[in-house]
Amino acid sequence: MLNGRTRTTAALAALAVTGAITLSISGSPAQAEPDIETVKARVDRLFHESEQAAERYNDAELELAELDSDLSSLESDQSRQGDALAGVRSDVRDSLIQQYQSGDLGATGELLSSDTQGFLDELSTMSTVEGIQDSLLADYGDELEAYDIRKDQTEKRRSDIKELKATLAEEKKTADAKLAEAKGLLSKLEDEQRAEFLSRNAGRPIDPSTIPASGRAAAAIKYALAQVGDAYVWGAAGPNAFDCSGLTMMAYAQANVSLPHSSRAQYGSGTHVAKSDLQPGDLVFYYSPISHVAIYLGNGLIVHAANPGAGVKVSDLDEMPYAGAVRPG
């Protein structure tokens, strides 16, 4: 388990480094004002690049939560080790005192070091403590070695996460710049053109009762469709704004299915299904590497938190580069 998360950290760091994309998209000052289709293509690309950064950040948050859990467990183990060693010292002292009082052992004062390693070294030389030496040294020595290994691994992971956070902080700045540029492009359009662009991204109303789904899938679809028109905000999971994995996570939470807040992590949370076998309620994923997720509605339609310019909407299944599908639960 630990090695798997360590590989996840390394993969995240590699993605964070390779995922950065420069912002050189603006035309020269003499270039004519772009038409609506050109602006739409640029804005969609900028929104996608921003979402990639946001989803990598979500992945890092999951990794950090796992690390916090490991550290808490390690601290508990350390405390138990201290209690165990105190018990060992007490048992050995009692045994030594009893043997000294019975005349089987000389003075004990110099044999009871307060230093942990010194104590173990001294204990290993005491042939007179019958029945204690072998079992105590073997058990405690094995536990101490395992603890040291876990401590080293955890400290290494902490260092990796620290480096990843610094990389993601820089990438977040890039993502913010891309989002600002996208909004700037939209603001340059005439009101009529901007209204046309937004209407194309507004989705279409669908009655959940018309979708052939039941159980968990029906509950998730009903919730997701009720959010159509809500805003897209990075890292949001309701009640009035969502990012892509935040929407799918909360939709399936209504069906008592727990999903992580990450599109890549959700891709591993269920049974993979072929595109030809899609059923309403399946999670569908986009791009390579995966950075977007939606809920399939049937009839070639999906509901998803699209981007900051469109919010939660209904779209065609193939509106984005398709990557795969999962059936949760």
Annotation says 244 is catalytic:
yes
Could you tell me which residue, 148 or 318, shows the higher pLDDT? 318
200, pLDDT greater than 80: no
In this prediction, residue 314 carries a pLDDT of 92
Q: Tell me the per-residue pLDDT of 70-109, one tens digit each, with 9 for 90 and over.
A: 767 766 666 666 566 566 656 666 655 565 555 554 444 4
Annotation says 261 is catalytic:
no
In this prediction, residue 77 carries a pLDDT of 63
| Confidence band for 217, pLDDT divided at 50, 70 and 90 | very high
pLDDT, mean of residues 221-225? 96
Q: Which of 22, 24, 41, 327 is nearest to 197 (CA)?
A: 41
Give the bridge partners for 294, in sequence order.
284
Q: Which residue in 48, 261, 272, 292 is the catalytic one?
A: 292
Buried b or exposed e, range 72-104, using 16+ CB within 10 angstroms: eebeeeeeebeeebeebbeebeebbeebeeeee
pLDDT, mean of residues 296-316? 92
Q: Tell me the per-residue pLDDT of 236-282, one tens digit each, with 9 for 90 and over.
A: 999 999 999 999 999 999 999 999 999 999 999 999 999 999 999 99
Q: Which residue in 48, 244, 261, 272 is the catalytic one?
A: 244
Q: H helices within 188-281, ranges in order?
A: 191-200, 215-226, 244-253, 263-266
Give the bridge partners for 315, in sequence order.
302
Count of alpha carbons within 13 Å of 305, Cβ hemisphere only? 31
Annotation says 304 is catalytic:
yes
pLDDT, mean of residues 199-213? 76
pLDDT, mean of residues 10-38? 47
* pTM for this predicted structure: 0.61
Q: Which of 37, 53, 95, 79 is nearest to 291 (CA)?
A: 53
Rounded CA Rg of the chain = 29
- In one-letter notation, the amino acid at residue 209 is S
Q: Tell me the per-residue pLDDT of 113-169, one tens digit each, with 9 for 90 and over.
A: 555 555 555 555 554 444 554 565 566 666 667 677 777 777 777 677 767 767 776
Query: Does the domain made of 204-327 have the CATH classification 3.40.50.740?
Result: no
Residue 63 CB coordination number (10 Å): 23
In this prediction, residue 106 carries a pLDDT of 47
